[in-house]
Structure 1
Amino acid sequence: MDLKRLPSPDDLLILLTVARLGRFNAVAETLGTTHTTISRRILALDKQLGGRTLERSPHGWELTELGSQAVAAAESIEGTLGLLAGRLSHSGDTLSGVVRISTPDGFGAEFVAPALVRLQRAHPLLNVELLSDTRKVSRNRSGVDLEVVVGNLEPGNAQPIFLSNYFLRLYASPSYARDHGLPETLDDVRQHGFVSYVESALKVEELGHRSTQLPVPRSSFQATSIFAQVEAVRRGAGIGLLPNFMVTRRTGLLPVLPHDFQRQLPIWAVARAESLRSAAVQAVLASLRSEIQDRGEDLGG
């Protein structure tokens, strides 16, 4: 066998990472190198294999038939290296490498981060990158292994995995209720200040005030961060449209018209087929499902 004709294992693993993340920039960030280096290594791999492994689509880089065959080999190499890493660490742990996850900031902090911390304690060779972004499923290759998104899904190339439902409800602080009173009907909301997302920057319309059919409020406090919204409501800026899992005993907020208004939204995990074959991604999904199951009352309450 002519070893010079065999593809580089390093280049195969780079191709595997491109297949999962879909963007050279994201791959370069994950591997600690540059876009130019990733491009050069893919070109070298193509030359070794005698054909193109990737083709550009309107949504990002996609595998060719040859690329899919090369990725199958890369997955075998990855699995073998995982076994070796476990033996060298004397732990028998086969989960290693980097997993990148995109998630809305509130759900990410309350559910995804605890799930990942628990997972990382069990698998210390695993590295995690958590990106906060509240959006619908990206139609383009997103540069992450797993997207956590809210709201209704549009058809796409990635596989959606239902996680749970949660509720958006109206809340106010005790100080706001004391100083301004609380609405007795939904129409009375127009007489109050209102706290919600910045409508012009909102990527998931179901999270915004405009989609609720509630009347236009007297004034508004809008923020792209759900944590800023909770704090604004807590400090008396107005009535807030907040996820129920963000309103805990420590916030001390009061429900407003709980029998007249609520909105239920689904939460999904979305990944490409190449990512779903990753043991690390499967472990993340299992840990996240466990976190949701253990704290289901926080989402459904």
Structure 2
Amino acid sequence: MNRSPSPDDLLILLTVARLGRFTAVAEALETTHTTVSRRIAALDRQLDGRTLDRTSTGWELTDLGHHALRAAESIESSLTELKSAVSQRGEEVSGVVRVHASDAFGAYIAAPAIARLQQEHPRLKVELLSATRRASRNRSGVDLEVVAGRVEDSRAEVMVLTRYFLRLFASPAYLHDAGEPATLTDLARHRFVSYVDSELQVAELDYRSSGLPVPAAAFQATSIFAQLQAVRAGGGIGMLPSYVVHQDPGFVPVLADDFERGITYSAVARTESLRSPGVKAVVEALLTETRGRRKALRS
């Protein structure tokens, strides 16, 4: 080793370990991809070795990188303690946390939970990215994912947040015009609102895997919010998250005694990401929110 590694460079390595991509790190730190690359190269020179290896899914730590990461985490912890002492407001949580969540969870659960967390920690910035997909294999560019359905990734930390239910709903106007199905078999004669088959990654959200009959006609959308509005407007019967619509008079339960589908929401993250005070605070906020709304989520 030619000289002691720069603490700033070590903290950049820490962020790369959590986000996996230089572009995501540059955005989080409000700098450039070139600067991130240059600082990592400088750190490698200081340590006489490579701290990162490029893979098909992003940057991964080498053995030397893991040793450097522990030093970076110690620096981060010391800075957090210093900020806390200076502010005299208890533990200060700051920085940027990037969260990827499914549409419904992001809007109805994550957004209010994060807003309350930021009232307590105003220096914490959270970026919420929304789309319905399965857990990523590499989680490049995000600190935390919240996904619906089964998670199969031995390299990730998986925390179960809550269970919720999909049930069948239609608008009062649609049922008045089309009639209410008496059995699940009758659904084959009704219009159905669902996800776009070719775009859906989460099998548990697919009506085709639910045992329901193939509908006569369908409206399909990649967004759950488009599906909600289509059902509300009389577009057909939809398999919807009951916690989103159960108190809305625009949605009437259909075959409530014959069909329901339970699905789990899980938080998924790299081990390195969960060492961040900001990420830990977001996970705890999501857990608190889901516990407080357990009755509605399981309605």
The normalised TM-score by structure 2 is: 0.95
Q: Distance in 1 between matches of 2:204 and 2:108?
A: 20
d(CA) in 2 for partners of 1:251, 1:111: 21
What displacement does 1:87 show?
4.2
Q: Which residue of 2 aligns with 1:96?
A: 94
Aligned equivalents of 1:245, 1:196: Cα separation in 2:
17
Distance in 1 between residues matched to 2:294 and 2:263, nearest whole Å: 14
Q: Equivalents in 2 of 1:66, 1:19: separation in Å?
A: 13
Shift of 1:55: 1.1
Q: 1:251 to 1:134 in 2, by over 3 A?
A: farther
Cα distance per residue 1:115-139 (max 9 Å; x no partner): 1111111111111111112111111
Question: What is the deviation of 1:75?
Answer: 1.3
Do residues 116 (structure 1) and 114 (structure 2) align?
yes
In the alignment, is the contact (CA less than 8 A) between 1:93 and 1:123 conserved in 2? no
Q: How many residues align?
A: 299
The one-letter code of the counterpart of 1:119 is L
SS at match of 2:272: helix
Identity of aligned residues (%): 59
Answer whether contact 2:139 2:270 (CA < 8 A) is retained: no
Which residue number corresponds to residue 10 of structure 2? Answer: 12
Separation of aligned partners in 2, 1:82 and 1:155: 31
Counterpart residue number, 1:127: 125
Name the CA distance, whole Å, in 1 between partners of 2:139 and 2:247.
39
Q: Give distance in 2, aligned partners of 1:142 and 1:175.
A: 45
Contact 2:139 2:269 in 1 (8 A): no
CA contact (8 A) 1:136 1:203 kept: yes
Is 1:150–1:267's contact at 8 Å kept on the other side of the alignment? yes
Q: Which residue of 1 aligns with 2:22?
A: 24
Aligned to 1:288: 286
Shift in alpha-carbon separation, 1:141–1:288, aligned structure 2, 3 A? closer
Greater mean alpha carbon deviation, residues 20-29 or residues 52-61: 52-61
How many angstroms apart in 1 are the aligned matches of 2:148 and 2:190? 28
Aligned to 1:163: 161
- After TM superposition, give the deviation of residue 252 of structure 1 in Å: 2.8
Using the alignment, how far apart are the partners of 1:73 and 1:27 within structure 2?
Answer: 19
Runs of 4+ in 1 over 6 A off after TM superposition: none
CA contact (8 A) 1:83 1:92 kept: no
The match for 1:42 is 40
CA distances 1:145-191 after superposition (whole Å, capped 9, x unpaired)? 11101111223311111111111110001111111111111111111
Equivalent of residue 136 in structure 1, options 122, 134, 137: 134
Partner SS for 1:115: helix
Correspondences of 1:1-301 after superposition (within 5 Å) = 5-250=3-248, 252-301=250-299
TM-score of the superposed pair, with normalisation by structure 1:
0.95
Structure 2 unpaired stretches of 5+: none
